[in-house]
Amino acid sequence: MTLLRVENLAIDVARDGGSCRLVHDAHFSVDRGETLAVVGESGSGKSLTALAVMGLLGEGLSVSGGRILFGDEDLAQMSPQARNDLRGSRISMIFQEAMTSLNPVRSIEHQLIEGMRLKKRLSRRAARARALELLAEVGISDPERRLKQYPHQLSGGMRQRVMIAIALACDPELILADEPTTALDVTIQAQILALTSRLCRDHGVGLVLITHNLGIVARYAQKVAVMYGGRVVERASARQLYRAPQHPYTQGLLASVPRLDLPRDTPLRPIPGAPPDPTVRLGGCRFHPRCPRASDLCATEVPPFVTDGGHEVACLHSGSQSSKPKGAAA
Amino acid sequence: MASYMLRRFIGSIIVMWAVATLVFFMLRFVPGDPIAAMLADAGGPDEIEAMKRNLGLDRSLFVQYAIWFQNMLHGDLGNSIYGSRVAVTAVLAEAIPRTLSLSLLAFVIALAIALPAGILSATRRNTATDTTVSLLAFLGLSMPDFWLAILLIIVFAANLQWLPAIGYAPLSDGFWPWFSHLILPSIAIGTAFSAIIARMIRSSLLEVLKADYMRTARAKGLTPWMIMFGHALPNAMIPVITVIGIAFALLISGAVVVENVFAIKGLGRVLIEGILNRDYPVVQGAVLVVSAIFVFSNLIVDLLYGVIDPRIRLN
Ligand SMILES: Nc1ncnc2c1ncn2[C@@H]1O[C@H](COP(=O)(O)OP(=O)(O)O)[C@@H](O)[C@H]1O
Ligand SMILES: [Mg+2]
């Protein structure tokens, strides 16, 4: 059953009278107990999309089109109060900045139990008991002692574990994890990712795992949505995507990261050029200036999604190897 | 933390000793002779000599200092060399509660205004509320306190007759007599203080509201009240407390001036009369008390840091 379905989401930022579109067309869905990876270079609009789902877009930013269906309600149409009720209880989020996402002057206990006390109406004692369980569950030893401590007494990996515990505290249905490991040591990264995806699977929580590293998602996600320049350009199961990436951008991304399934000495080839500047108008496919297969049509035509056995791609020249144009009608 | 506080405490004592010593010698280099002032035309040279011997002023400066210092350690600040030669400690015992009542009440009123004003203007940045608060704060900062004091007397005491214009009633006379005498001077002193703190809270809050942990708090779906008082303010108050410590000094010096306008015989009045009369022991005693208030309010600020910020308390 579909838990979250983001359709044609557009996000604008207001600037000197007018507005500038930052996210053009985010489109994906995630089921209960499933992990969806949203992958793309930095600046492709992943964080904004997640914040829009949370209803936490910053000042000047707004959802200007599309739908965010949670169950059968459109979050984009909900009142701020109703959204605040959902936050923390049915949808929670884990952020990128492990070191700074916890309040430095409040104890771990306070930060863990305040949500449960508010959202689940637990007594202090019950919330505390649950907090101890949660800390144990995210792999923190000596939870009694940790509860009394403050963020500065914890390592980065430990803080991110606390954030995961906070996200799980009220038994949410959906968790958005925005690059939860980028600020951490490489050795800790895999642990945190494994922990997050395991807990979500065990608790039947839908997980949207945002990352810029296509190399790591294979192990943890069932589905992948590839985002480029504010638009989702390819959606597939993780297996399909790795075996036969269709979009030239996805292929470029895969060639630029180390992979376990290829020989060790396979050279890494970064995608030349840089992601589009959202302030500059760009027609057609947003990837065409960097695309090795781009034709004249790509600069004018926004490619529609083409589905092939659950593998969806928005490219006029998609395909594993061939560079033969398929035409806009395909 | 404990050893740090001990060091700070010893440091404070040394500062107080230095201030007291400085004042002792400075007073004696101020032109003007207390005996001449006291006896005016009435005394001949013999009487002046007798008086000086009587007061110990005929000895060398360093002997005077040593005697004064030794007595001070025993809690004896000497007697006024003026009039009925009442003990300095008695003069101070009468004055201190007045000045402290005044400053503390001013402090409480100022914070009670500054806190909501600062929070409102930060959370409603660039709205009419914010502009109004900024304007009022600017006005409050630009008005000299003695002038504000006179204004308040004219409006609330003379015209409206809601409150007494001058004087003081001790708390033992009842709460209202005490309170009613202190409201106007407290506002006169506290206004500038309040303006400084409100602006400080605003800018500190604006900084804190951008922090990552504030986004975490919002992601928990907490109520606006929990977000402000549970997460934003405890962080925003850390730099504000430093300013409060410094601005408290402003409050005390404000009290010295405003006491004179309202004819409250607090430390300010004692100090000024003492200086005019070259009443060395009284001035020394008053300065000692004022510096003690300064030093200890700073000490309290340091303690508060530890209370509010676990990074300090636990290191
Ligand atoms: N508040 C904002 N104002 C203007 N531009 C923004 C704002 N937030 C993000 N952007 C821009 O939107 C684009 C997408 O940002 P983001 O969602 O953070 O990307 P990602 O998370 O994929 O790295 C970037 O080009 C970024 O510069
Ligand atoms: Mg991001």
Average pLDDT across chain B, whole number: 86
Within a 10 A sphere around the Cβ of B51, how many other Cβ atoms? Answer: 18
Single-letter amino acid code for the residue at A211: T
Token pair listed for A60: 């000047």
Is A73 touching B (CB cutoff 8 A)? Answer: no
- Predicted local distance difference test score (pLDDT) of residue A322: 44
Residue A61 belongs to a domain: yes
pLDDT surpasses 90 at A324: no
Which of B219, B221, B310 lies at the smallest CB-CB distance from A150? Answer: B310
Confidence class for position A16, pLDDT limits 50, 70, 90: confident
Q: Could you tell me if the CB of A43 is within 6 A of ligand 1?
A: yes
Q: Average pLDDT in the B73-88 region?
A: 82
Report whether pLDDT(A323) > 50.
Answer: no
The closest CB to that of B216, out of A86, A101, A110, belongs to A101
CB-ligand 1 contact for A276 (6 Å cutoff):
no
* Structure confidence by residue, pLDDT tens digits, A111-142: 999 999 999 999 999 999 999 999 999 999 99
CB atoms closer than 10 angstroms to residue B305 = 17
Residue A144 lies inside a defined structural domain of this protein: no
Tell me how close the Cα of A90 comes to any Cα of chain B, in angstroms.
10
CA pair distance A9, A313, nearest whole angstrom: 17
Instruction: Using the predicted structure, report yes or no on whether residue B161 has a pLDDT greater than 90.
Output: no
Q: Decide if A119 is inside a domain.
A: no
Name the minimum distance, in Å, from the CA of A80 to any CA of chain B.
Answer: 11
Q: Is A88 left (phi over 0), alpha (psi -120 to 50) or beta?
A: left
Contact A109, A162 (CB under 8 A): no
- Averaged pLDDT for residues B165-187: 86
Q: How far is A137 from chain B (nearest CA, A)?
A: 20
A90 touches chain B (CB under 8 A): no
Contacts of A153 in chain B (CB under 8 A): 314
Asked if the C-beta of A54 comes within 8 angstroms of chain B's C-beta atoms, the answer is yes
For residue A44 and ligand 1, the question of a CB distance below 6 A is answered with: yes
Of A84, A106, A153, the CB nearest to B231: A106
Expressed as residue numbers, the domain containing A230 is 2-90+172-261+268-313
Tokens in use for B227?
């977000």
Residue B40: name the closest of B267, B231, B277, B212 by CA: B277
What is the number of domains present in chain A? Answer: 1
Question: Residues of chain B with pLDDT > 70: what percent?
Answer: 96
Atom 8, ligand 1: residue with shortest CA distance? A48
B123 strand-pairing partners = none
Mean pLDDT computed over B159-186:
86
Residues of chain A found within 8 Å of residue B127, distances taken between Cβ atoms:
none
Q: Does A326 score more than 70 pLDDT?
A: no
How far is it, in rounded angstroms, from Cα B145 to Cα B155? 15
How far does the centroid of ligand 2 lie from the alpha carbon of residue A211, in Å? Answer: 8
Which CATH code of 3.40.50.1100, 2.40.50.100, 3.10.20.30, 1.10.3720.10 fits the domain covering B95-314? 1.10.3720.10
CATH label of the domain that carries residue A254: 3.40.50.300
> In the structure encoding, which two tokens stand for residue B188, read together?
């006169």
Is the pLDDT higher at A7 or at B80? A7
Shortest distance, CA A47 to any CA of chain B (angstroms): 13
Identify the band that residue B36 occupies on the pLDDT scale cut at 50, 70 and 90: low
pLDDT tens digits, residue range A262-287? Answer: 777 878 888 888 889 888 888 899 99
Best of A22, A51, A208, A279 to mutate for ligand 1, by most ligand atoms within 8 A of CB? A22
Sign of CA dihedral B46, B48, B52, B55: positive
Residues of B in contact with A118 (CB under 8 A): 220-223, 226
Of the candidate ranges A171-175, A310-314, B6-10, the one whose mean pLDDT is the lowest: B6-10
Ligand 1, residue A42: give the atom nearest the CA: 23
Ligand 1 pocket member A61 (CB < 6 A): yes
Compute the average pLDDT of residues B253-271.
87
Residue A327 pLDDT? 44
- Give the orientation angle of helix B280-308 with respect to helix B61-73, to 10 degrees: 50
For residue A226, count CB atoms less than 10 angstroms from its CB and return exposed for 0-12, middle for 13-18, buried for 19 or more. buried
> Is A47 a pocket residue for ligand 1 (Cβ < 6 Å)?
yes
Give the A:B interface size as CB pairs under 8 Å.
81
Confidence grade of residue B121 (pLDDT, cut at 50, 70, 90): very high
Per-residue pLDDT, averaged over B148-152, amounts to 87
Mean pLDDT of A228-256: 93
Token pair 């430093």 in the structure block, residue: B242
Query: Using CB atoms, which residue from A54, A84, A105 is nearest to B310?
Result: A105
Tell me the C-alpha distance between B208 and B202, whole Å. Answer: 10
Average pLDDT, integer, range A36-42: 94
Interface of B with A (CB under 8 A): 211-213, 215-223, 226, 230-231, 234-235, 238, 308-311, 314
Residue type, A177: A
| B190 CA from centroid of ligand 2 (Å) | 47
